[in-house]
Amino acid sequence: MKKFIDECPIHVRSGHGGPGCVSFRREKYVPQGGPDGGDGGRGGDVEFIADPTIKTLYDIRRRKHFHAKNGVPGMGRNKTGEKGESVEVHLPVGTIVRESEGGSIVIDLDTPGKRYLAAKGGKGGLGNQHFATAVRQVPRYAQPGLPGEEREFYLELRLIADVGLVGFPNAGKSTLLKALTRANPKIASYPFTTLDPNLGVANAGLPTQFIIADIPGIIEGASEGKGLGIEFLKHIERTRLLVLVVDFANDDPVESERILLGELASFSESLPAKPLIRVGNKMDLPEAREKASAHSGYIPVSAATHEGTVALLNAITEQLSRMDKA
């Protein structure tokens, strides 16, 4: 399994245009044929493509440099050189292309199939057939091809999901994601089991399907870089709906919500304004059930036994439907 990488620099260079050709017709009984040098081929392009089958920038960070081929030189008999081979760089949907790290956004590849011409190939040079005049009938000059473009970008992946699961480490988010979808995240009974965001699609028995993202656990001070820090908070920004997951067996719901919403607000003012569904997890444990009656604003769920997951899916579906109609 490839490591999840969500930021990296990339260097691209398009191909140079091929040079035009200096050539003259060589025909029997025509001792001094006119110019017939063909044009050089255009250099290859470098293009970014949003590809839904790509989930990480891992391969991009390993390679870093993407160079297209140069155009083929022109040939005699007015033959134009072939265009240089272009390069398509397939990036995950949700990749933001910046001019440099922290620089302005060039394009947001937020939909599958969206393209961006990162570097345009240089134009091929004209062959000597274009430079014949009444005065200069034997031109011995052809244009060189124009150089290609060379650019540096910085790529930043922000996951696109309908629903984001947020909560403290070990609150049961990964188990809940597995219960709601067919995703298979790593699950264990210690904090920070989830080191990468996980995605799952919920569609079993529902009129519509939606994507759920399990964001690695947030701790107090995450917006300042503590724990896994802001490294993964950015992935919540694109979600339409937040599901706040609280461990009712071990945590105080009021204090947990205060800390979690505070961290989201510190990272981005837009996050607390998103619609929110509250979930009290681990209802298979007696201590969790004791708290449930005092906190009616939470949907009681046991991700381990799937208790309450149907009610949660229905609540998510209804909320997303209301948002679509708004």
Prediction pTM value? 0.76
**311, amino acid identity:** A
Per-residue model confidence (pLDDT) at position 112? 94
Q: Could you write out the DSSP letters of every residue in 81-142?
A: PPPPPPEEEEEETTEEEESSTT--EEEEE-STT-EEEEEPPPPPPPPGGGG--SS-SS----
Contact 56, 157 (CB under 8 A): yes
Q: Could you write out the DSSP letters of every residue in 153-173?
A: EEEEE----SEEEE-STTSSH
Per-residue model confidence (pLDDT) at position 63? 93
Q: Give me the residue label for tokens 């965001």.
A: 197
Contact 167, 217 (CB under 8 A): yes
3-state secondary structure of 163: strand
Q: Give me the residue label for tokens 């709906």.
A: 241
3-state secondary structure of 154: strand
Contact 186, 217 (CB under 8 A): no
Per-residue model confidence (pLDDT) at position 219? 66
Q: What burial letters (b/e) apply to 192-223, b meaning 16+ CB within 10 Å?
A: ebbebbbbbebeeeeeeebbbbbbbbbbeebb
Per-residue model confidence (pLDDT) at position 26? 81
- What's the chain's length in residues? 326
CA distance 78 to 39: 7
How is the chain split into domains, by residue range? 7-157, 163-325
The tally of CA atoms less than 13 A away on the side-chain side of residue 190 is 1
Q: Which residue, 91, 94, 32, is CA-closest to 63?
A: 91
Q: Which residue, 271, 170, 186, 157, is CA-closest to 227?
A: 170
CATH fold of 163-325: Rossmann fold (3.40.50)
Per-residue model confidence (pLDDT) at position 268? 84
Beta bridge partners of 24: 35
Per-residue model confidence (pLDDT) at position 27? 76
Structure tokens at 325: 């109609």
Per-residue model confidence (pLDDT) at position 192? 37
Cα radius of gyration (the chain):
29
CA distance 92 to 99: 18
pLDDT (tens place) for every residue of the chain, 326 residues total: 456 678 999 999 999 999 999 999 887 766 567 899 999 999 999 999 999 888 889 899 999 999 999 999 999 999 999 999 999 999 999 999 999 888 899 999 999 999 999 999 999 999 999 999 888 888 999 999 999 999 999 999 987 788 999 988 888 998 999 898 876 644 334 343 444 677 787 864 555 678 888 887 676 665 555 545 456 677 888 899 999 999 999 889 999 999 899 988 888 888 888 999 999 999 999 999 988 888 889 999 999 999 999 999 999 999 998 988 87
Per-residue model confidence (pLDDT) at position 138? 87
CATH fold of 7-157: Spo0b-associated Gtp-binding Protein; Chain: A, (2.70.210)
